Amino acid sequence: MLAAERRNLILEKVHEEKKVIVSELSKEFDVSEETIRRDLDKLEEDGHVIKSYGGAVLNEKGSIDLPFNVRWRSNTQGKQKIAELISEEIEDGDHIILDASTTAVFIAKNIKQKRHLTVITNSIEILLELSDVSGWDIIATGGLLKAGSMSLLGKKAADSISSYHVDKAFLSCKGIDLEKGITDGNDETGGVKQNMIAAADKVYLAVDSSKFGKKALSKICGLSEVDVIVTDEKPDGAWMDAFQRMGIDFLV
Amino acid sequence: MLAAERRNLILEKVHEEKKVIVSELSKEFDVSEETIRRDLDKLEEDGHVIKSYGGAVLNEKGSIDLPFNVRWRSNTQGKQKIAELISEEIEDGDHIILDASTTAVFIAKNIKQKRHLTVITNSIEILLELSDVSGWDIIATGGLLKAGSMSLLGKKAADSISSYHVDKAFLSCKGIDLEKGITDGNDETGGVKQNMIAAADKVYLAVDSSKFGKKALSKICGLSEVDVIVTDEKPDGAWMDAFQRMGIDFLV
DNA sequence: GGAATATGTTAGCGGCTGAAAGAAGAAACC
DNA sequence: GGTTTCTTCTTTCAGCCGCTAACATATTCC
């Protein structure tokens, strides 16, 4: 039994029964009580449960479950790194745009202690994540909810973005190529992201290293429209040269 | 029974009955009165209740802080009943509006097996709940996310609704009064709900029985604009007469 | 092989609870 | 109003049991 597997089962149980008891879980999974406590620590960190003497209870606030496909995420450390870098770029009072990507969700988690931000996003997950901060303006684009995507897309979404203007936009993409520029999986996200770029003074592209040299279906924009690229690992020299030539800053 | 679990149940009870008695709780949970007092101390510290000789009463002020959790907990059976009734009113292919209320979340849960619905909503929770159904059009209004409310409000939200037209709108409210009509807690939700009413052929008001005769701050509309009232318990005769006179249908 | 992660073990600490006693409050009575 | 009586509250203490922290061991990943 994997640790993550066990934690998922605990999470399931706490959803079903509203509470779990350390001693019971210890027997059920045949591990020590300390291990269970550590599991509960993790689950509490993530906001799923609230520990209590002898066990833990469901955290109603954080317990709204995300659909299954959202739960499993790849390269979380890389995305967390990127998010921390970006967090340093955001100042109190900034007006920013976050797109609908897992990286952007990490960014949202990392900037909650800042003050008086204005955030525009089309990501349901980010809205959820930020629903408990106070003193911010959080603006949701309207739009169509695409099944399983957790993001608002379509003409309405794109239009509503173009009525705003922000300091910084933080986007991600599926592919980044010297020739084809920035590309993404489908046209609908493309249109929204184009407007996000147009609405921002400074455009940050948050991509993990695997995206370099990839080309996806739909072109969002040329590389030159990006101001800063934030990533977790340096690509090889040719890329760096190209970025320098285009005046693109680079954060690792 | 975990301590936190017991405190949650006490909190639930104090919300339902507005007050709790130390001696009763002591018997109910089979713990000493001292333990109950310590629980109430904690709840008072957190601002949920106000202790008083022999027991404690609900702190209305403090419960505004967590409107979400609390509304969620109260009278779930009633809301489920209402949701089931409403589910029968919705047909495959319908275009509907759901507002941002716990009752509406229950409705969303209850209609997931229907086909080809078009749902317009300003509730983050409903978007989340419906994010895994396929073959529907789910439209989110844009707007400002109000801290802790999980709903999209403000001018943008209201405006985006007025560009649609639907078959049925399902709303709830804080108070329903023969003279003052339908009222809600604040102006922002009011504006959005007014536009929802205007956008629908048929307006359903989903309220649990406690709302009859209550008046809240902000008027949404007169009773006559409502077509159907759905509730879990029949109010007394005078109400029924009034509804009949106004041509309002009634579902229990 | 070494770093990172997961798990178990142990010892000492600290929270939860109930009991008891005295203080404070409420209520009834004069 | 004052006294009495009863109830409830606060405080303190002790026992129990779960918790934390630190270390040891095992496993996985690079």
Residue spans of chain A under pLDDT 70? 62-77
Chain D bases closer than 7 A to any CB of the protein: 7-12, 17-22
**Residue A63: predicted pLDDT:** 60
B124 Cβ under 8 Å from any chain A Cβ: yes
A145 Cβ under 8 Å from any chain B Cβ: yes
Closest-CA distance, A47 to chain B, in angstroms, reads: 15
- How does residue B69 score in pLDDT terms, banded at 50, 70 and 90? very low
In sequence order, the 6+-apart residues with CB closer than 8 A to the CB of A244 are none
**Residue B191: predicted pLDDT:** 92
Instruction: Calculate the angstrom distance between C1' of D29 and CA of A8.
Output: 22
Token pair in block for residue A190: 């493309």
Chain C bases closer than 7 A to any CB of the protein: 5-10, 15-20, 25-26
The SS3 of residue A189 is helix
Counting residues of chain B whose pLDDT is more than 70, the rounded percentage is 94
**Residue A66: predicted pLDDT:** 57
Instruction: Calculate the angstrom distance between C1' of D20 and CA of A16.
Output: 29
- How does residue B74 score in pLDDT terms, banded at 50, 70 and 90? low
The SS3 of residue A47 is coil
B33: nearest nucleotide, CA–C1' criterion = C18
Q: Is the pLDDT of residue B67 over 50?
A: no
> What does the alpha-carbon distance between residue A156 and residue A249 come to, in Å, rounded to a whole number?
32
- H/E run at residue A21: strand A19-21
Which residue type sits at A34? E
Buried b (16+ CB within 10 A) or exposed e, A76-100: eebbbbbbebbbebbeeebbbbbbb
Q: Which of A37, A145, A151 is the best substitution to test chain B (most B C-beta atoms within 10 A)?
A: A145
Residue whose CA lies closest to nucleotide D28 C1': A2
> Per the CB < 8 Å rule, is A145 touching B138?
yes
Residues of chain A with Cβ-Cβ distance to B132 below 8 Å are 67, 147-148
Question: pLDDT averaged over chain B?
Answer: 90
Residues of chain B with Cβ-Cβ distance to A137 below 8 Å are 144
> What does the alpha-carbon distance between residue A94 and residue A136 come to, in Å, rounded to a whole number?
10
Q: What is the CATH number of domain B75-251?
A: 3.40.50.1360
Instruction: Calculate the angstrom distance between C1' of C23 and CA of B19.
Output: 26
Which residues numbered 155-184 in B keep a CB inside 8 Å of some CB on A?
A: 156, 160
Closest-CA distance, A146 to chain B, in angstroms, reads: 7
Q: Residue range B31-46: average pLDDT? A: 94
> Per the CB < 8 Å rule, is A128 touching B130?
no
A9 Cβ under 8 Å from any chain B Cβ: no
Is the Cβ atom of B3 within 7 Å of strand C at any atom?
A: yes
Closest-CA distance, B242 to chain A, in angstroms, reads: 39
CA-based nearest residue in chain B for residue A134: B147
Q: Residue range B118-122: average pLDDT? A: 98
In sequence order, the 6+-apart residues with CB closer than 8 A to the CB of A180 are A215, A219
Q: Residue range B202-210: average pLDDT? A: 92
Q: Is the pLDDT of residue B84 over 60?
A: yes
Q: Is the pLDDT of residue B160 over 90?
A: yes
Query: Contact, B114 vs B90, CB < 8 A?
Result: yes
Tell me the CA end-to-end span of chain A in Å, nearest whole number: 36
For chain B, the structural domain boundaries read 3-65, 75-251
Q: Is the pLDDT of residue B124 over 50?
A: yes
> Which DSSP letter does residue A134 get?
-
B126 Cβ under 8 Å from any chain A Cβ: no
**Residue B209: predicted pLDDT:** 83
Please name which of B75, B18, B112, B34 lies closest in space to residue B208, comparing C-alpha atoms.
Answer: B75
Q: Report whether CATH 3.40.50.1360 matches the domain A70-251.
A: yes
Q: What is the CATH number of domain A3-58?
A: 1.10.10
**Residue A78: predicted pLDDT:** 75
Is the Cβ atom of A35 within 7 Å of strand C at any atom?
A: yes
In sequence order, the 6+-apart residues with CB closer than 8 A to the CB of B197 are B169, B171, B203, B220, B221, B225
Token pair in block for residue B87: 């589910």
> Per the CB < 8 Å rule, is A133 touching B147?
yes
Please name which of A163, A155, A160 lies closest in space to residue A140, comparing C-alpha atoms.
Answer: A160
List, as one string, the DSSP characters of chain B.
--HHHHHHHHHHHHHHHSEEEHHHHHHHHTS-HHHHHHHHHHHHHTTSEEEETTEEEE-HHHHHHSHHHHHHHTTHHHHHHHHHHHHHH--TT-EEEE-SSHHHHHHHHHTTTS-S-EEEE-BHHHHHHHTT--S-EEEE--EEEPTTT-BEEHHHHHHHHHT--EEEEEE--SEEETTTEEEES-HHHHHHHHHHHHTEEEEEEE--GGGBT---SEEEE-GGG--EEE-SS---HHHHHHHHHHT-EEE-
> Per the CB < 8 Å rule, is B124 touching A131?
yes
- CATH number for B3-65 (one of 1.10.10.10, 3.50.50.60, 2.40.50.100, 1.10.1740.10): it is 1.10.10.10
Give one word for B3, left, alpha or beta, with left for phi > 0 and alpha for psi -120 to 50. alpha
**Residue A235: predicted pLDDT:** 80
A53: nearest nucleotide, CA–C1' criterion = D18
Is the Cβ atom of A53 within 7 Å of strand C at any atom?
A: yes
Please name which of A124, A188, A61, A67 lies closest in space to residue B112, comparing C-alpha atoms.
Answer: A67
Looking at the partner chain, which of B2, B125, B140 has a beta carbon nearest the beta carbon of A152?
Answer: B140
Query: Contact, B206 vs B172, CB < 8 A?
Result: yes
Compute the count of residue pairs across chains A and B with CB atoms less than 8 Å apart: 112
